[in-house]
Structure formats: structure tokens, C-alpha cells
Amino acid sequence: MTGILDKFYVEHGIQGARVMTRSQQLTAGCRSDDEIDTNIELLIDDLEACAREMKRLVKINRDQSLFEGWPSANDDVPQS
């Protein structure tokens, strides 16, 4: 789960990280400006949580460690 609404999730693979939606409908029917603002603000908060997760996964990928906390393949290379 990423964020409080659980509308988005992050996939991470060989081609990088991407945001996916769990459903096509992202908001309920809004009848006022306040409802629109509230719904969109919650979606923005969830997307920002996805961005943090994507950055974390890309950093792990960049550091060459497949699983967080596991040693990197470069750890076995002797230092000259």
C-alpha cells in the first residue's frame, strides 16, 4: 500500500519504478468545490507517497542491492 487511499501502488522492475492505479475511478462524485479540493488533495498526498517510494526503490537499484539490507554484488570486489 502506498498512501492512505490505497488508490495507487508502485511497481519496480528491471525497467525502473512506475506508479499504477488500482482502479479506474479515483474519486467519488463531487458536488461542491470543497469536495473536489478535498478529493484532489488526498490524491496528491498519495502520489507524493508514491514518489517517495519510487525514489527509495530507484536508490536501492542504483546502489546495486536487489533487496534492501542485503549486500551488494560490489561488496565482494577487493579494493585495490
Tell me the domain boundaries of the chain: 8-23+30-68
What's the pTM? 0.69
Cell numbers standing for residue 23? 482502479
Reduced 3-state DSSP string for the chain: CECCCCCEEEEEECCEEEEEECCCCCCCCCCCHHHHHHHHHHHHHHHHHHHHHHHHHHHHHHCCCCCCCCCCHHHHCCCC
Confidence tier at 33 by pLDDT (50, 70, 90): very high
State pLDDT tens for residues 68-78.
555 666 666 56
**6 pLDDT exceeds 70?**
yes
Q: What is the pLDDT of residue 1?
A: 57
pLDDT 10s digits, 45-66: 999 999 999 998 888 877 765 5
